[in-house]
């Protein structure tokens, strides 16, 4: 079924069209507006609803033609059907000249409407409507609670938002202990729960009410701890698909508990960052999660980030790579003071610090050289758990 919207200042005409649409059942009418929208409003309207067909009232021909050209810019290939109360030959010629091939005059009848829709279906099958969507969805998965994943996700998202033409969204999907709202000192009654609840009817008016704008970054926090509330994987997919039409980059902070909605996010992600620290228990849990990700056929999307890297580590980067079977694409130094100061101020880590420079570098790599993050097959076999540190006593950890 084709998705369609109506743009017509003649509300009675639009109502009559809606009636014939309902009778035929060939079109899914998702939204209607009773005025010609200015350029930025029209772009939001089209991106929010992603129509394949636009029924365009031509009561004010010059405004209608401006709208038509804007539709062509935002959604190339979308089919525009002119609607009016009369059919003047001169107007039809003008419409055909600019590329509008379908015209429906009132009163609308089912036969002519169905014939027109059949022609549109054939046209769209040959040349589908295209709307630019973002494929830069990055999920951050902790190997273990306390690995610093939220800090990395937040600061990478901030660094991305500072890049030219890179509108960025940060989503907190750690529903058990999401910290992003706290770290940024957000005070909002709207959270991921409300966004998921309204996922099927998100539009250009509702979305700005749900997200929190923190300087150049939009944030959707996890909010309250509510064991009774549930988030459905379908809702999360709908939410991400909506956001992809508005943002250049989307960063998602996951809980690490591998919930169904987290698996849905990973399937939608371009890169899955597993965050580890140079500690045996953390690496053990990371390897388990990497095996599950590989079983989901998502292994090619995984990159490992080493947090709290040390200059003289007990476990070296090469040993970590041996254990995990995946190269470490980037390490971040331990900067407890810098992170503490950032949380105290409700801001990102200072970009001039060594840790801050690491986040900026990761953001640049994501947008400019993403191939650098693709793991290469390890030539070495997986090491057995105790072979990293032969003298390490597991009982000492208990």
Residue 132 lies in a domain: no
Model-level pTM?
A: 0.79
- Give the alpha-carbon dihedral of 106, 112, 116, 121, to 10 degrees: 130
pLDDT number for residue 377: 47
Residue 15 lies in a domain: yes
Mean pLDDT value across residues 191-219: 92
Which of 164-178, 215-229, 246-260, 268-282 is least confident?
A: 215-229
The answer on 280 and 238 residing in a single domain is yes
Task: Identify the band that residue 376 occupies on the pLDDT scale cut at 50, 70 and 90.
Answer: low
Domain boundary among 126, 155, 186: 126
The answer on 146 and 58 residing in a single domain is no
Instruction: Quote the mean pLDDT of the chain.
Output: 90
The answer on 57 and 145 residing in a single domain is no
Q: Is the pLDDT of residue 382 over 70?
A: no
Q: What's the CATH code of the domain at 117?
A: 3.40.50.2300
Q: Is the pLDDT of residue 165 over 80?
A: yes
Closest CA to 242 of 128, 164, 138, 134: 134
The answer on 352 and 271 residing in a single domain is yes
Q: Is the pLDDT of residue 380 over 50?
A: no
Range of the domain at 154: 137-397
pLDDT number for residue 374: 66
The answer on 193 and 87 residing in a single domain is no
> Angle 48-54-60 (CA atoms, 0-180°, nearest 5)?
110
CA 365 to CA 306: how far, in whole Å? 16
DSSP-based three-state secondary structure for 79:
strand
Q: Is the pLDDT of residue 59 over 70?
A: yes
Residue 200 lies in a domain: yes
The predicted-structure confidence for 245-268, as pLDDT tens digits, reads as follows 999 999 999 999 999 999 999 999
Domain boundary among 76, 91, 126: 126
pLDDT number for residue 177: 86
Mean pLDDT value across residues 85-100: 89
The answer on 146 and 121 residing in a single domain is no
Q: Is the pLDDT of residue 296 over 80?
A: yes
CA 110 to CA 90: how far, in whole Å? 26
Q: Is the pLDDT of residue 288 over 70?
A: yes
Q: Give Cα 343 to chain centroid, integer Å.
A: 25
The predicted-structure confidence for 5-57, as pLDDT tens digits, reads as follows 999 999 999 999 999 999 998 899 999 999 999 988 999 899 989 999 999 99
Residue 52 lies in a domain: yes
DSSP labels, 261-308: HHHHHHHH-SEEEEEE-SSHHHHHHHHHHHHHHHHTT-GGGEEEEEEE
Q: Is the pLDDT of residue 395 over 70?
A: no
Q: Is the pLDDT of residue 226 over 80?
A: no
Q: Is the pLDDT of residue 67 over 70?
A: yes
pLDDT number for residue 369: 76
pLDDT number for residue 233: 93
The answer on 172 and 119 residing in a single domain is no
The answer on 266 and 337 residing in a single domain is yes
CA 169 to CA 250: how far, in whole Å? 5
Whats the size of the chain, residue-wise? 398
Q: What's the CATH code of the domain at 313?
A: 3.40.50.300
pLDDT number for residue 88: 86
Select the highest-mean-pLDDT range: 22-31, 159-168, 378-387. 159-168
Residue 131 lies in a domain: no
Residue 18 lies in a domain: yes
Q: Which two tokens stand for residue 264?
A: 């849905």
Q: Is the pLDDT of residue 217 over 50?
A: yes
The answer on 148 and 55 residing in a single domain is no
The answer on 379 and 312 residing in a single domain is yes
pLDDT number for residue 131: 86
Alpha helices in the chain (DSSP H): 11-24, 39-49, 61-74, 89-98, 110-126, 149-161, 180-183, 192-197, 207-210, 233-243, 260-268, 280-295, 317-324, 336-345, 354-368
pLDDT number for residue 176: 86
Residue 157 lies in a domain: yes
The answer on 278 and 204 residing in a single domain is yes
The predicted-structure confidence for 140-160, as pLDDT tens digits, reads as follows 999 999 999 999 999 999 999
Q: Is the pLDDT of residue 96 over 70?
A: yes
Which of 214-223, 245-254, 382-391 is least confident?
A: 382-391
Residue 177 lies in a domain: yes
Provide the domain count of the chain: 2
Q: Is the pLDDT of residue 387 over 60?
A: no
Domain boundary among 71, 102, 126: 126
Asked if 71 and 80 count as a contact pair (C-beta separation under 8 A), the reply is: yes
pLDDT number for residue 373: 73
The answer on 171 and 34 residing in a single domain is no
pLDDT number for residue 223: 77
pLDDT number for residue 375: 59
CA 124 to CA 130: how far, in whole Å? 10
Which of 250-264, 279-293, 306-320 is least confident?
A: 306-320
Which of 246-255, 272-281, 349-358, 363-372 is least confident?
A: 363-372
């Amino acid at each position: 079924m084709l998705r369609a919207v109506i743009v017509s200042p003649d509300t009675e005409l639009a109502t009559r069209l809606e009636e014939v649409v309902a009778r035929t059942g060939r079109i899914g009418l998702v939204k209607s507006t009773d005025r010609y929208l200015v350029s930025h409003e029209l772009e939001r309207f089209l991106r929010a609803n992603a129509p394949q067909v636009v029924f365009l009232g031509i009561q004010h021909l010059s405004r209608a033609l401006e709208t038509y050209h804007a539709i062509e810019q935002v959604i190339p290939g979308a089919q525009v059907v002119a609607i009016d109360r009369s059919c003047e030959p001169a107007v039809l010629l003008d419409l055909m000249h600019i590329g509008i091939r379908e015209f429906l005059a009132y009163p609308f009848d089912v036969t002519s409407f169905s014939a027109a829709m059949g022609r549109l279906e054939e046209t769209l099958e040959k040349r589908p409507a295209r709307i630019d969507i973002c494929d830069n969805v990055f999920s951050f998965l902790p190997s273990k609670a306390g690995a610093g994943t939220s800090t990395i996700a937040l600061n990478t998202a901030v660094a991305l938002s500072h890049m030219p033409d890179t509108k960025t969204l940060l989503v907190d999907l750690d529903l058990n202990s999401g910290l992003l709202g706290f770290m940024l000192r957000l005070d909002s009654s709207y959270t991921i729960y409300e966004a998921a609840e309204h996922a099927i009817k998100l539009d250009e008016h509702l979305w700005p009410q749900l997200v929190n704008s923190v300087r150049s970054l939009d944030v959707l926090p996890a909010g309250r701890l509510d064991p009774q509330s549930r988030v459905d994987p379908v809702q999360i997919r709908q939410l991400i698909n909506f956001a992809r039409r508005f943002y250049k980059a989307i960063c998602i902070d996951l809980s690490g508990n591998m919930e169904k909605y987290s698996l849905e996010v990973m399937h939608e992600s371009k890169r899955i960052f597993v965050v580890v620290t140079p500690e045996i228990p953390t690496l053990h849990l990371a390897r388990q999660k990497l095996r599950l990700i590989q079983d989901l056929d998502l292994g090619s999307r995984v990159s490992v980030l080493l947090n709290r890297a040390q200059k003289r580590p007990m476990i070296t980067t090469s040993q970590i790579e041996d254990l995990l079977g995946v190269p470490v694409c980037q390490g971040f130094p331990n900067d407890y003071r810098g992170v503490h100061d950032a949380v105290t101020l409700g801001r990102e880590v200072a970009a001039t610090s060594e840790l801050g420079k690491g986040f900026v570098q990761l953001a640049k790599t994501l947008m400019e050289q993403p191939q650098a993050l693709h793991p290469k097959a390890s030539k070495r076999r997986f090491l057995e758990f105790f072979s990293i540190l032969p003298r390490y006593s597991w009982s000492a950890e208990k």
